[in-house]
Amino acid sequence: MSQAELIAHLRRLLGDRLLTEREDLVAYSRDASKLTRLPLAVAQPESEAEVVEIVRACLAHSVPLTPRGAASGLTGGAVPASGGLVLDLNRMNRLLSLDPDEQVAVVEPGMVVGELNRIAAKHNLQYAADPGSSAFCTVGGTVAENAGGMLAVRYGVTRDQVLALRAVIGTGEVIQVGRATRKDVAGYDLVSLMVGSEGTLGIITQIALKLTPLPDALATATVLYAEESGALSAAATLVRHRLPLRALEFMDRSCVRLVAETQRLSLPGVGREELAQGRWCLLLVECEGDTPEEARRRLGQVEEVLARSEGGGRFLPCPEGERERVWQIRKSLHGALFTQGLELINEDLCVPRTALPAFIGKIYSSWKKLLPELALFVYGHAGDGNLHIEGFSPPEQAGEVDRERIDELRQRLMEAAVALGGTISGEHGVGLTKTAYLGLMYGEAELSLMARLKRAFDPQGILNPGKILGEFSRKPGT
């Protein structure tokens, strides 16, 4: 059958929820990676049954299918790289159930993470996967990417919150894997396989999530350092002492200066003018407890450990009522970076936490050697060893930057992370932008096994083709 017959079939199924006008296709041609490819059409299902029908129709016509949530991903996972159909899952956004006693929520993939947390909070619960985009990203997207976030040091990443899920795989069959229980070792762990698979193994239609109680009390502090290596050495020290941290975030001097300048932010005890001088990088530390006294006691332990560590940190406990103001320094950074011109580097690399001081040295030395003209910003989740590295050029100079040097810098950064025992992606996924680097971590045997797994779930290769494995999934004999 022709593509015209496919469109006619989907039009009968979806009516005006099938988009084919060019302006709609342009809107669905990209994600936050800025890569683009026009799809053939956009389908907006409202039920699992419709997803099944769409997958089977695409199978019959050999048309690629790219699932999409809020498209906030940074590695091209939601870009329809092979054209075909975009499957917009945002209409499947219902909370199907929430059991406060079992602390389990069952949701559709289009539910916004922040909305789920607003509902859960009414029961004194939280969905602890807390990416920076939680105000607009969807649960399905976080599951597809295995998103992390600022609370991962305490609660783990998305995979640690997913108990069970339903999905439509590339054969058009519906699978239900896992159970909404806190323990389940029956059969292979297909839930963990699906989480982080970026829509290449199946279209997730329903997710059972573990909720956790909201903390009764929090104690927060910022710690200022004159050098990034000192701040990350201090973070490694906290890890070695196994202190019960809720969050441990890092911002280099460029990041602190940027938010002070563009967002006009300050800290309790430190004015905006001082922060804007670029003298300080920081750690943001938070502890939780059953009582305010317990939270403050744990934060006091952090202060004691840091006082004995190298680096000379300036410890600033957060006064009562100032927590949101302190966290705004970290949470406003993403918006502030949008003011910096054309983004040419955006990486999220993760190393063992005790390797962070060595890694930051590798980052800066590579940058100064290859692209010192770029404005570089390094920040992230020090409690997980996960750093975000972003480099910007003013728009008027972007065409003058040597693309070969950009590629070489990316290569060096990833090689440095892997050499330290780390990974090419801590939480953004592989998508399209990192497929060429997967061979730094895996050999032919591992890549071949991944390709065979892909074909077991998706024999015709219609689900988000080209993502994760890229060329490795197309090697003869794999």
Query: How much of the chain exceeds pLDDT 70, in percent?
Result: 97
Pair (121, 189) in one structural domain: yes
Among residues 316, 335, 354, which one ends one of the domains?
335
Let me know if residue 432 belongs to a domain.
no
List the structure tokens of 427: 């939480």
Let me know if residue 203 belongs to a domain.
yes
Q: Which CATH number fits the domain that encloses residue 403?
A: 3.30.70.2740
Q: Tell whether the model's pLDDT for residue 236 goes beyond 70.
A: yes
Pair (104, 199) in one structural domain: yes
List the structure tokens of 61: 């016509």
User: Cα separation of 478 and 462, whole Å?
Assistant: 17
pLDDT value of position 472: 46
Let me know if residue 8 belongs to a domain.
yes
**Longest alpha-carbon distance in the chain:** 72
Read off the pLDDT of residues 250-268 as tens digits, 9 standing for 90 and up: 999 999 999 999 999 889 8
Pair (224, 325) in one structural domain: yes
Read off the pLDDT of residues 24-37 as tens digits, 9 standing for 90 and up: 999 999 998 889 99
Read off the pLDDT of residues 144-167 as tens digits, 9 standing for 90 and up: 999 998 999 999 999 999 999 999
User: Cα separation of 329 and 247, whole Å?
Assistant: 14
Among residues 319, 335, 351, which one ends one of the domains?
335
Let me know if residue 435 belongs to a domain.
no
Q: Tell whether the model's pLDDT for residue 112 goes beyond 50.
A: yes
Let me know if residue 411 belongs to a domain.
yes
**CB neighbourhood size of 12 (10 A):** 9
Chain centre to alpha carbon of residue 454: 22
Q: Which CATH number fits the domain that encloses residue 38?
A: 3.30.43.10
Rounded mean pLDDT, 133-146: 93
Among residues 306, 335, 364, which one ends one of the domains?
335
Pair (185, 199) in one structural domain: yes
User: Cα separation of 319 and 269, whole Å?
Assistant: 10
What residues contact 434, with CB distance under 8 A and at least 6 apart?
A: 75, 414, 424, 425
Pair (239, 137) in one structural domain: no
pLDDT value of position 37: 95
Pair (362, 392) in one structural domain: yes
Rounded mean pLDDT, 337-349: 91
Pair (201, 264) in one structural domain: no
Identity of residue 344:
L
Instruction: Name the residue among 264, 402, 407 with its Cα closest to residue 332.
Output: 264
User: Cα separation of 93 and 117, whole Å?
Assistant: 14
Read off the pLDDT of residues 418-465 as tens digits, 9 standing for 90 and up: 999 999 999 999 999 999 999 999 999 999 999 999 999 999 999 999
Where do we find the tokens 């890569």? Answer: 35
Q: Tell whether the model's pLDDT for residue 475 goes beyond 60.
A: no
Let me know if residue 436 belongs to a domain.
no
Pair (146, 199) in one structural domain: yes
What residues contact 193, with CB distance under 8 A and at least 6 apart?
A: 201, 453
pLDDT value of position 471: 56
pLDDT value of position 399: 61
Q: Which helix (H) or strand (E) holds 345?
A: strand 342-350
Q: Tell whether the model's pLDDT for residue 170 goes beyond 70.
A: yes
Q: Tell whether the model's pLDDT for residue 473 goes beyond 50.
A: no
Pair (450, 357) in one structural domain: no
Domain around 356: 340-419
Let me know if residue 114 belongs to a domain.
yes
What are the distances in angstroms from CA 440 to CA 75, 263, 435? Answer: 17, 39, 10
Q: Tell whether the model's pLDDT for residue 291 goes beyond 70.
A: yes
Report whether 13 contacts 53 (CB < 8 A).
yes
Query: How much of the chain exceeds pLDDT 90, in percent?
Result: 87
* Number of domains forming the structure of the chain: 5
Let me know if residue 427 belongs to a domain.
no
Q: Tell whether the model's pLDDT for residue 478 goes beyond 80.
A: no
Pair (103, 198) in one structural domain: yes
